[in-house]
Structure 1
Amino acid sequence: MNRIQLLIIVFIIGFYLPFSAQTDDKVKEDFQSSLVNQQGKEFPKVNSEGRVRVRIEAPQASNVQLDIGGVKYDLKKNDGGIWIGESAPQDEGFHYYQLNIDGASVPDPGSKYYYGAGRWGSGIEIPAQDQEFYEMKDVPHGSITENIYFSEITQDWRRNFVYLPPGYFENCEEYYPVLYLQHGSFEDETGWASQGYANLILDNLIASGKAKKMIVVMDNGYAYKPEAMQNAQDGRPKSAFEEVLIEEVIPNIDKKFRTKASRAYRAIAGLSMGANQTMRIIMNNLNLFSYYGGFSGTSNYPGNEKIDTKTFLNGAFEDSDKVNEKLKVLWLGLGTKEPEVFLKTVGDFKEMAENKGISYTFYESPKTAHEWLTWRRCLYQYAQLLFE
């Protein structure tokens, strides 16, 4: 090899090294259509890094963005008027998102729609390593029925969704315990049966023998009396949900379905806002419930100060012996990446319980925040402890 040949080789290597180094930073082109796309839709897609790629035809638009995880990502338009682009890697689990077209936020026409963040919009799944527990499997499946009722308290028609376990319609002599399961703020009664996969979680648990057969009732946590709506000045009117659940929902469910209608066979749980609501409900009605589950929250939100058991929930936790006697399970769970306010809220409640000698069970969902993967995992853990 002469000197000129050596210089050429060195030049070529030097020229290509920067490009070969950049390939490690490029987006991995192993995108697959999302599992929650509308039928026949190719986009949105997700790759192995957890990036979300979207595509939309908008030839007249001047600016299109993908809005996910609180960040907006610019899309690029090709000569055919098709906008395409992707996000940074997202955490495992379910995410709400939307498209922003010239300043207007709209759902992605390729994805299924979910109610969350106070609106119907797009959602996407970033495959989770432990998604097996909420996957569709070849096991006996329960049913979800829409139960419509008129509320004398709110003076309007309301509904809840009711999960009936496998075998409910085949064995008409069997009666079942009931879990009342609540959604979070800016969500509704569709959440647990849709993005929460509550039915699949229960189907799989029951099939594996890890949970008892149970009925699950998912109602709307937003309930207001007409006068409260009229008199509301600023912010949200006073909630009547506790009254609706105790006086209307429970009697309605016990009348229409084959329930074991006693406190020993009645549990309650909720996420975030629902954790707040359900803790208040159970501590005001220990004659009706024996099990409590708080997912990403308790009733000392926002946790600005230490809990004084003499005043907190009207002293409901002051008598620790009574609490331990009445509650067969007091369960708390949250994600390790939750916002600080939720970590502090639950942390302060745990400290109060330990100081008072109140028994509780605590679970941490690894590497998840205030999101549906956290709450799916919480339901999976909590349901296994019910009605033993």
Structure 2
Amino acid sequence: MKRILTLMLLAVACSGVLQAQSGHSSVRVDDRLVLPGKRGELNVRNAMWPRLLPGNRMEFRIKAPDARKVQIDLGRKYDLVRNDDGEWRCTTDSLTPGFHYYFLLIDGVAVADPASESFYGCSMMTSGVEIPYPDGDVRFYLADVPHGDIRMKRYFSKTSNAWRRMFVYCPPGYDTSEQTYPVLYLQHGGGEDERGWANQGRTDIIMDNLIAQGKATPMIVVMTDGNTSDFESELLKDCIPFVEKNFRVKTDRDNRALAGLSMGGIQTLNVGIPHLDCFAYLGVFSSGWWANRTPFGGGEDSEKYYRMLQDHKDEYNVGWKQFWISMGGKEDIAYNNCQIMMKRFDGIGIRYTYFETPGGHTWPVWRESLYHFAQLLFR
């Protein structure tokens, strides 16, 4: 009898939770809860909102009865409207396919949405929505192919005098083979860290699919933390030696690539140009040196790299098997700096490949960039 009473109380409690979550926004048909669209792919378990609606729009509903103003920041701010139950609602415009950060703004304070999985970006824990790609575009989805894995490795950095970590993608078959692999060192952007490419970027899914289709050479991909006072030393003196000691990798320049997005693209330029002996492939995504000096230190060092390129133009043009630059269209915040940089390259006579795709300064552009750049490596 006691057990039956306990089960009855649990059932009542669960019913109360469901009513609290759904409020008056649900519709019942034949005693089934019917909600518009479908729950967001990145919602935490059992969270029904945000929801994906037709036309790649997202509907948000936030319970915040004591708030005076609630907004969603998706790059553009959307005002939510409050109903009598203290629930705030809004529907966005159509969003481009792929991953997008978003924030809740509660009375002007930016916070992560508790209904969403959390991602480190914009120098804080943020929320995310995943907008589906067009039918037939399966490049960024799990497929029935052999899968590699991403391993988290800790190492002690003499440069930082601290324990740090990296994420390392190993291709399918790594553990059962004895072969050695080429390496791509892949850097995140500003306000992000070593988790960015593994989580937001879907690096393992992209690489698994490309390798299965024979479009990419099986390779190790190393995703390190670029938040350091001396990235050059961190990469060359700490990260690369650690990788070459702990993984079966090829150690010559022809089997080593360096790429990065935004801040990571500048780091790629700043390390890759002085160290032609270390990297045969450079990838610069949504990035470029600052065209002018900035109050926070950008722009003043780029001339020394232009001089290196000018003085050793032929060596760079022969030594780089790929110098690949991508941009997210004119809406990309790095677009103007990149165009000025490429004109300087043209004037010097440095050869490079330029790829442009719409999307701005966002993860959909950087996923697309990795997809194309990876196919050019180690051929």
For the aligned pair, the TM-score class normalised by the smaller chain equals 0.7 to 0.9
Report the aligned-residue RMSD. 2.3
Distance in 2, matches of 1:292 and 1:338, equals 23
1:213 maps to 2:218: yes
Distance in 2, matches of 1:254 and 1:170, equals 18
Distance in 2, matches of 1:197 and 1:208, equals 17
Match of 1:384 among 368, 375, 378: 375
Distance in 2, matches of 1:108 and 1:78, equals 21
Distance in 1, matches of 2:42 and 2:330, equals 25
Distance in 2, matches of 1:93 and 1:338, equals 16
- TM-superposed CA distance for 1:34, in Å, is 1.4
Note the residue ranges of structure 1 that are not aligned, 5 or more in a row: 1-28, 224-238
1:64 aligned partner, one-letter code: V
Distance in 2, matches of 1:324 and 1:222, equals 30
Using the aligned pairs only, state the percent identity: 40
Distance in 2, matches of 1:264 and 1:334, equals 25
Contact 1:66 1:86 in 2 (8 A): no
1:196 maps to 2:187: no
1:288 maps to 2:278: yes
Match of 2:149 among 143, 149, 161: 143
TM-score of the pair, normalised by structure 2:
0.84
SS at match of 1:203: helix
Q: Alpha-carbon deviations, 1:4-53, whole Å to 9, x = none?
A: xxxxxxxxxxxxxxxxxxxxxxxxx9632111111222111122233221
- TM-superposed CA distance for 1:206, in Å, is 0.3
Residues 310 and 150 from structure 1, CA distance in 2 versus in 1: closer, same or farther, beyond 3 angstroms?
closer
Match of 1:41 among 25, 42, 47: 47
1:301 aligned partner, one-letter code: W
Contact 1:303 1:348 in 2 (8 A): no
Note the residue ranges of structure 2 that are not aligned, 5 or more in a row: 1-34
1:73-112 alignment to 2 at 5 Å? 73-79=79-85, 81-112=86-117
Contact 1:38 1:111 in 2 (8 A): yes
1:162-241 alignment to 2 at 5 Å? 162-171=168-177, 173-223=178-228, 239-241=229-231
Distance in 2, matches of 1:96 and 1:49, equals 19
Cross-structure match for 1:121: 126
Distance in 2, matches of 1:357 and 1:68, equals 40
Cross-structure match for 1:227: none
Q: Alpha-carbon deviations, 1:65-118, whole Å to 9, x = none?
A: 222223132232343x33322223333322111212233322112211101010
Distance in 2, matches of 1:199 and 1:94, equals 15
1:336 aligned partner, one-letter code: G
Distance in 2, matches of 1:293 and 1:313, equals 16
1:347 maps to 2:317: no
Structure of higher CA gyration radius: 1
Give the total of aligned pairs: 339
Contact 1:202 1:211 in 2 (8 A): yes
Cross-structure match for 1:372: 363
1:328 maps to 2:343: no
TM-score of the pair, normalised by structure 1:
0.82
1:151-166 alignment to 2 at 5 Å? 151-166=157-172
Distance in 1, matches of 2:378 and 2:109, equals 49
Contact 1:73 1:87 in 2 (8 A): no
Match of 2:138 among 132, 135, 139: 132
- TM-superposed CA distance for 1:262, in Å, is 0.9
Distance in 2, matches of 1:342 and 1:102, equals 31
- TM-superposed CA distance for 1:61, in Å, is 3.0
Distance in 2, matches of 1:245 and 1:207, equals 30
